[in-house]
Amino acid sequence: MEIKVLGSGCANCKKLLEYVQVAVKELAVDASVLYVTDYIEIVKTGIMRTPGLMIDGKIVSYGRVPNSDEVKTFIQNAK
């Protein structure tokens, strides 16, 4: 599984990255977590508000920080 956290380095984006890293560890999924900060790369996915969360090429959340439970659900749904 490939998980991308899309964010320009704002506090909210880092928070989401943290949630994702914790969730991946807790759920023990085999996933690579990437933190994408390049504006162009972020915008190309179709979103304009960060932080965004992309799992296996699909945007599952953007423009807000989902809480850690939601993040776990996103990852489980994608398994």
Partner 1 sequence: MIKDIFVWLNDQLLKMTWLENAVNWFFRDVIQLDVDSLLYKGITFFFYDVIKIFILLSVLIFLASYVQSFFSPERTRKILSKVKGVWANIIGALLGTVTPFCSCSSIPIFIGFTKAGLPIGVTFSFLISSPLVDLASVILLASIFNWQIALAYVVVGLIIAVIGGSLISLFKMERYVEEFVLARSDEQVIDVNAVEEFTMTRKERVNYSVEQVKEIIKKVWIYVLLGVGIGAFIHGFIPQVWIESILGANNPFSVIIATLVGIPMYADIFGTLPIAEALVLKGVGIGTVLAFMMAVTALSLPSIIMIKKVVKTKLLVMFVGIVTIGIIIVGYLFNAFGSLFM
Q: Is 43 a catalytic residue?
A: no
Annotated catalytic residue 13 = yes
Among 3, 5, 6, 13, the one annotated catalytic: 13
Q: Which of residues 34-53 bind partner 1 (CB under 8 A)?
A: 39-40, 42-50
**Least distance to partner 1 from the beta carbon of 28, Å?**
28
Give the nearer residue to partner 1 in terms of CB position, either 26 or 63.
Answer: 63
DSSP string, the chain: -EEEEE-SS-HHHHHHHHHHHHHHHHHT---EEEEE--HHHHHHTT--SS-EEEETTEEEEESS---HHHHHHHHHHH-
Question: Considering CB under 8 A, how many residues would be counted as binding partner 1?
Answer: 18
